Structure 1
Amino acid sequence: MASSALESQDAGEKRIWYRRTLFNAFVIGSVGFLAPGLWNAMSSLGAGGAESPFLVNAANALVFGLMGIFCLLGGPIANRIGLNWTLFLGAAGYPVYAAGLYTNNRFGNVWLVLVGAVACGVSAGLFWASEGAVALGYPEPSKRGKYMNIWLIFRTGGPLVGGAIVLALNHGANQKGKGKVGPKIYLIFIALQCIAAPIALLLTKPEKVQRSDGSKVKVIHEKSFAAEIRALGKAVSRRDILLLLPVFWAAYFNQYVGNFEVYFFGVRARALIGFVGNFANLLASQLISLLLDYKCFAVKKRINIGFYYVIFWHLVAWIYGWVINEKFTKEQPDLDWTSEQFTEGFFVILLWYFAQQSLQNWLYYFVSTKTDNISELSRFTGILRGQESFAQAVSFGINTRDWYGGRVPLAVNTILLGLSVVPTWIAVREHTPVEADKNWGSEEEQIHPEIVGEDEKNKIVVVKSNAH
């Protein structure tokens, strides 16, 4: 009966390749590859490839401050103008930022770095709010982990390609020491980032997306922008979201990693780290996505296991990071990839990346199980990424000062991570996932439940076909 219902639904709608979830995953991934992906490639050089980290850290503090504001507003904006136009605007500011880094590297210009930071901050906020909603709201619930991984593979592909370009142009023996990268790199990045915005317009509207299981993306918009803002206020004030605010802040607070690279590694060593370090993100995403889509466990159990998995890797990364940072602070090495201590320092960065990416994937998945309405999901992902952005702004601001041994930013980050554990655990314990993929047989036989009544003890769920 269930399969015939889906056949009936499919019969009335011809499947078109550019409306399928996989195509849209490639669209969102391509924009992520070209815009924030290449931004991350520049960032992974250590302070945007600059010789001194302080101007770039100040610019990045401005980027993430604005990004936090526009991440919060991104959900309401996307629900009014559409996800494709929001994504378009979300990609448009990135090449301006790269242009600022180029003129600073080549001519010592400062003002364009700050203008680029403003443009990038506004764009990035809109980008992340729309991208998160698409990556989590378009796919079938049973495949969220898989599609989140595809999204990340593309986004990490940007730093990989960018890192390969940087490494190719900065591998010479004359670049063993500390300093800044060559200016040609930024011209390549600017050209590639200009392609991102037009690609964003290929995104299918959510109501026209065609999932493989025949289900539809649920879209319930508010009637006006003012109503969207009120809905955002309600979302921010929810108990479960308030409990998650500390971990939203802790997730991406560690921006000391850029200073760590500049302090202790030469240019070509930083170029190698910027390339190879991305594999830690890919591995982290792949491993946790396998867990989050593991159908032998209920969704709630996957979330619980993921919580302790993330804690384990953060303990490993931060204990090891503290030990090596203290050692390097005493010795003040200038590490090339041929140095004996290179591997020690490199593993600090790899573990930080691995733990950080594991946490972000888990958080996005956790938040996505709170609603099956993509409009509400855009608000949740905007809040998540907005708070992460505010945290990054504060962290970059802290790292504009040359703290001895980086102990202040490291201590603040460690304390923040510790403080976030208990409220996050409470949020996990109290969470009831909004599941669309019940274990009611094969995936093809799954159809949507609709709650039609409730007594004092339980809910009566009636399985109802979507074919009308």
Structure 2
Amino acid sequence: MLKLTDPLTQVIILGFVCFCIPGMFNSLSGSGSYGLDPKESDVGNNAGTTYSIVFAFSSLFAGTLFNIFGHRLLLVIGGLTYVLYIGSFLAYHHIQSMTFIWISSICLGLGAGWLWTAQGAIMMGYPEENDKGKYFSIFWGIFNLGAVIGNFIPVGLAWNDPTASGASDGAYIAYMVIMVVGSFLSLLLLPASKIFRKDGSSVTVIKYSSPITELKSVFALFKDWRMLALFPMSFASNWFYTYQFTYNSLNFTVRTRSLNSAIYWLAQIFASVLFGAFLDRHKWSRTTRARYGIILLTAVLIAVWIGGLINQTTFGPRGYITDATGTAIKDPADYHMIDATTKAYVGPFFLYFFYGVSDAMYQGYAYWLLGALTNDPTVAGRYAGFYKFAQNIGSCIAPWVQMSAIGIAPHEGYNTIHSRGRGMYEAVICVILVFLGIVGAFPVAFKAVKEHTVDEVDNVVSEKQEAGFEDAKV
């Protein structure tokens, strides 16, 4: 029977925290333009770029905050910034305040960096070496179930209105209430010093570090060849979201967009469970699992992106031109919206499902690989921050590259015809970056992963420990 002090219990609670917060956020962002009408996609994309830039640098230094203040404070405050962000889009429906959206985007960038760094430290640092795939799959499944359920909120509200162009006020309010619950659910997570593995050992030796020492540890990651080799994979891990979510936003009715997003995250649940079990297959050594894992991931990515490129020649992200008043000028040759009730939906349905599968495997392998390099949540917090830093550098550049691909200035948004050829340009960039990430991960998988991890000791001791206060908490 699981106890509150068990690492698995803590990861399950963490999964439900992320179910309520980034899970709901993903359901809204995955449906395109954060629930706004596609004509206003530039609002969502500019906000997303802003929070991604702040998120990147917040993540880089969030490991320092994690090791000084612990995870509960970071998760609670980080979660509430998501509530503020969604609230700004609800307000935009009524007062069109970009100032509110800019402020909330900056706050979210800070808070998301704190939340995801704390999450990564727990998920990579708490499991035993042979259970890291299992822990990832459990967390990822619960977390993405939030996105699945979250997408059925607008599906249910809009199903009888296939002409609806954006999320309703009721959908935004529902998201915000769930996010508040998730933020305070974080208080059920115990300090790391109270978590014990099956053999009775603590998940980590508690270390106390000064901010200066922590910052030095962060910058030392840029000298670690393993982190540098994994930088392309981290960089690409959210890049393709811009392409995939824009494809969803510009090609489907609002109820179908939400359904697609639900399918995308549901696929991630199945993929994370199966791939996690594969990476924890005890009949193989850990070095063998690392190598087989990246080979399987490569094969799946090749198949999925071949399908994506073929689909791009048929559909691909397409938008519309607007006149000076913002009224859409539809071109029958280039503009149409696919609904889930039509035969044209069959191919995109399966493609979007396997986009979700490949995303779960890509990110799951990245987390598993980083987790194989340490068993210490203190070090894992730094690794998680570095991963999120690189990931969000990619996230904030991707929309600008995509907007350049359609031949317009970034501030003009997506409101222009988006041809198949230019959509193919974006898809090819995604393919190149994804496989550059795989190339970088190969030497880490084949050389850096050992059968057992031996963490380096920081030998950082606080004044309290020197005075004999051994029970001091992080």
Show CA shifts across 1:58-105 (max 9, x none).
111111111111111111110011122122222120001110111123
Bigger mean CA deviation after superposition, 34-43 or 215-224: 215-224
CA RMSD in angstroms, aligned pairs only: 2.2
Bigger mean CA deviation after superposition, 218-227 or 203-212: 218-227
Corresponding residue for residue 24 of structure 2: 38
Q: Structure 2 counterpart of 1:344, which letter?
A: G
Distance in 1 separating the partners of 2:172 and 2:30:
14
Q: CA deviation at 1:276?
A: 2.6
Q: Structure 1 length as normaliser, TM-score?
A: 0.86
Is 2:304 the partner of 1:340?
no
Corresponding residue for residue 311 of structure 1: 298
* 8 Å contact kept, 2:14–2:119: yes
Distance in 2 separating the partners of 1:367 and 1:42:
29
* 8 Å contact kept, 1:96–1:116: yes
Bigger mean CA deviation after superposition, 66-75 or 340-349: 340-349
* 8 Å contact kept, 2:124–2:375: no
Is 2:272 the partner of 1:257?
no
Identical pairs, percent = 21
Corresponding residue for residue 141 of structure 2: 153
Output aligned runs, 1:52-451, within 5 Å: 52=38, 53-172=41-160, 174-175=161-162, 177=163, 179-219=165-205, 221=207, 223-254=209-240, 255-329=242-316, 332-400=335-403, 401-402=413-414, 403-405=418-420, 406-433=423-450, 435=452
Q: Which contiguous aligned blocks of 4+ residues in structure 1 show a shift greater than 6 angstroms?
A: 448-451
* 8 Å contact kept, 1:170–1:271: no
* 8 Å contact kept, 1:222–1:228: no
Q: CA deviation at 1:322?
A: 1.4
Distance in 1 separating the partners of 2:71 and 2:103:
25
Bigger mean CA deviation after superposition, 179-188 or 413-422: 413-422
Distance in 2 separating the partners of 1:397 and 1:118:
18
Distance in 1 separating the partners of 2:434 and 2:184:
39
Q: Structure 2 counterpart of 1:35, which letter?
A: I
* 8 Å contact kept, 2:75–2:115: yes
Structure 2 unmatched ranges of 5 or more: 317-332, 404-412, 458-474
Distance in 2 separating the partners of 1:221 and 1:72:
20
Structure 1 unmatched ranges of 5 or more: 1-14, 437-447, 452-468
Q: Structure 2 counterpart of 1:165, which letter?
A: I
Bigger mean CA deviation after superposition, 137-146 or 397-406: 397-406
Bigger mean CA deviation after superposition, 177-186 or 30-39: 177-186
* 8 Å contact kept, 1:58–1:397: no
Q: Structure 2 length as normaliser, TM-score?
A: 0.85
Alpha-carbon distance change, 39 to 231 in structure 1, aligned in 2, over 3 angstroms: same
Alpha-carbon distance change, 375 to 265 in structure 1, aligned in 2, over 3 angstroms: same
Distance in 2 separating the partners of 1:388 and 1:240:
16
Distance in 1 separating the partners of 2:20 and 2:401:
28
